[in-house]
Amino acid sequence: MPRNDQIDQLTVTQVGKLVGVSASSVKRWIDEGRLSAWRTVGGHRRIAVGEALRFVREQRIEFADRSLLLGAGRPAPQPEPTHSSGNDAFADQLFRSLVSEDDVAAADLILTLSRAGMDVPTLCDGPIRHSMGRIATLDLSEAEIIILEHRASDRLVGALHRLRSSLAPPLRSAPVALGGAMEGDPYLLPSLSAAMTLLEAGYRVHNLGPNLPIRALQHAIEASRPQLVWLSASTTSSGTELTRTAGRLARFAQARGARLVLGGRGIFGRQVSSAPGVEILESMRELAIYGRGIRGSPSVAL
């Protein structure tokens, strides 16, 4: 077992910040044996810097915060240029385009950022999420904010559809991913973002859109036999109900060789526990990493 004073080390939280995911995702990688770690005398997990870099390279993950590597006893690596998901300049620029009268400015900016090397998860977790969140804080009436949010969402949906045509098509042999927003959830953008993220990760995607009845989703799973199923929950009245629904759907999916992931703002901040077989993910970055991690792995019918 390595000693703390012999090698450079990172905490679970630091590894999460390094690649832009939650600490729970890092713990899951460790539990799955994909990332090696050891425990301190106090029971805290530690990951060697070299092991973290190995994992990042093998999974083709972009760094979200490379500053964590500075002062770790070695020079910071020199990865290919990328954009931070929290880049305020891009978020401000996109926000201005969404609240303006220019219907094409948002799409043009997103295409420009993509061509400059910004991937779909970074776009969704960074400029898109921050811009939409900023609209909700404007000093306007509730009706005015709703109108702005709907207009902005419509522009972003159009922009992502334009971006989709510029992405490399998946191989015919690529695994299938399908999903949508749960029944009663009218939002288009979160499920489309998930679809775009998984398309870029190498899946053939079937986005079934908003307000998706569970029975319809089960029918699609039966017909398409996907490897991954996503369910977006942007609004929900009952965390207990959501947990129960996700658990039933996870058992149905697992019996057909698929894995279920759950995400959305309707989950976080509510009492939603992770039912057996359900992966709760907090960002598109986590979805991309999870999707790449299970590609090619054998599906197990339970």
Which of 83-92, 115-124, 182-191 is predicted least confidently? 83-92
Confidence of residue 54 (pLDDT cuts 50, 70, 90): confident
155: containing domain: 88-164
Beta-strand relationship, 45-48 and 9-11? antiparallel
- 207 lies in the same domain as 285: yes
Domain boundary among 164, 196, 214: 164
**What's the pLDDT score for residue 90?**
87
- 112 lies in the same domain as 142: yes
| Mean pLDDT, rounded, for 119-143 | 92
Concatenated DSSP letters of 184-240: T---SHHHHHHHHHHHHTT-EEEE--SSB-HHHHHHHHHHH--SEEEEE-S--S-HH
- Is residue 301 in some structural domain? no
- Nearest Cα residue to 226 out of 242, 193, 249, 244: 249
- The CATH number given to whatever domain includes residue 37 is 1.10.1660.10
Confidence of residue 84 (pLDDT cuts 50, 70, 90): very low
- Is residue 195 in some structural domain? yes
- Is residue 216 in some structural domain? yes
- 214 lies in the same domain as 286: yes
Three-state DSSP class for residue 133: helix
- 182 lies in the same domain as 127: no
**What's the pLDDT score for residue 237?**
57
Domain boundary among 69, 102, 117: 69
At a CB cut-off of 8 Å and minimum separation 6, what does 53 contact?
77
Residue 211 clears pLDDT 80, i.e. is over it: yes
- 119 lies in the same domain as 26: no
- 242 lies in the same domain as 150: no
- Is residue 118 in some structural domain? yes
| Mean pLDDT, rounded, for 260-287 | 81
- Nearest Cα residue to 231 out of 260, 272, 205: 260
Confidence of residue 114 (pLDDT cuts 50, 70, 90): confident
Would you state the structure tokens that stand for residue 299, as one six-digit string? 């599906």
Segment holding 249, helix H or strand E: helix 239-254
- 187 lies in the same domain as 279: yes
**What's the pLDDT score for residue 76?**
35
- Is residue 260 in some structural domain? yes
| Better-scored residue on pLDDT, 301 or 40 | 40
**What's the pLDDT score for residue 226?**
97
- 265 lies in the same domain as 181: yes
- Nearest Cα residue to 206 out of 234, 230, 233: 230
Three-state DSSP class for residue 4: coil
Interatomic CA distance for residues 40 and 25, integer angstroms: 20
- 188 lies in the same domain as 285: yes
**What's the pLDDT score for residue 302?**
28
Would you state the structure tokens that stand for residue 289, as one six-digit string? 């990493």
Question: Is the Cβ–Cβ distance between 281 and 25 less than 8 Å?
Answer: yes
Domain boundary among 109, 132, 164: 164
Segment holding 292, helix H or strand E: helix 284-294
Q: 268-276 — which CB contacts under 8 Å span 24+ positions?
A: 270/236, 270/239, 270/242, 271/239, 271/240, 272/236, 272/239, 272/242, 272/243, 273/239, 273/243, 274/243, 275/243, 275/244, 275/246, 275/247, 275/250, 276/247, 276/250, 276/251
Question: Is the Cβ–Cβ distance between 128 and 193 less than 8 Å?
Answer: yes
| pTM exceeds 0.85, yes or no | no
- Is residue 4 in some structural domain? no
- 265 lies in the same domain as 241: yes
Mean pLDDT, the chain, rounded, equals 82
Confidence of residue 151 (pLDDT cuts 50, 70, 90): very high
Q: How many domains does the chain have?
A: 3
Residue 228 clears pLDDT 50, i.e. is over it: yes
Residue 133 clears pLDDT 80, i.e. is over it: yes
- Is residue 200 in some structural domain? yes
Interatomic CA distance for residues 117 and 179, integer angstroms: 27
- 19 lies in the same domain as 42: yes
- 202 lies in the same domain as 240: yes
- Is residue 31 in some structural domain? yes
Residue 82 clears pLDDT 60, i.e. is over it: no
| Better-scored residue on pLDDT, 198 or 172 | 198
The crossing angle, in degrees rounded to 10, of helices 88-99 and 142-164 is: 110
| Better-scored residue on pLDDT, 36 or 227 | 227
Residue 152 clears pLDDT 60, i.e. is over it: yes
- The CATH number given to whatever domain includes residue 209 is 3.40.50.280
Confidence of residue 21 (pLDDT cuts 50, 70, 90): confident
Residue 112 CA, chain-centre distance (Å), reads 21
**What's the pLDDT score for residue 272?**
64
